[in-house]
Amino acid sequence: MANEVTLTAQNFETEVLKSELPVLVDFWAEWCMPCRMLAPTLEEFSKIYNGKLKIAKLNVDDEPDVASQYGIVSIPTLILFHKGQPVAQHIGLAPRQTLENLLKPYVS
């Protein structure tokens, strides 16, 4: 994938909180069917917004502490970080247009 990052507790600060680009973090798990259904849309976004947006995936089973820190209780949850701060969030599967509307104010 063009600019997708796999997040861990070790690289979260560098890849998300200190990123120059807005970062869309996908909190997901391997067993989550809606998460898998969302993946092609995120892959498409990584190509469309290459250089303008970073797509990052955090497996909640592998990194429960980070997920807990952001109050993740349902997946998929998408949180958009801009300048190190969470600025928008969407829980559950959503149509592409809904997600693009979430990104528009932060991605030129």
Q: Where in the sequence numbering do the catalytic residues fall?
A: 32, 35
Which CA distances in Å does 33 have to 7, 18, 23, 62, 81? 20, 31, 23, 17, 24
**Contact at 8 Å (CB) between 41 and 97?**
no
Preceding peptide of 22 cis, ω within 30°: no
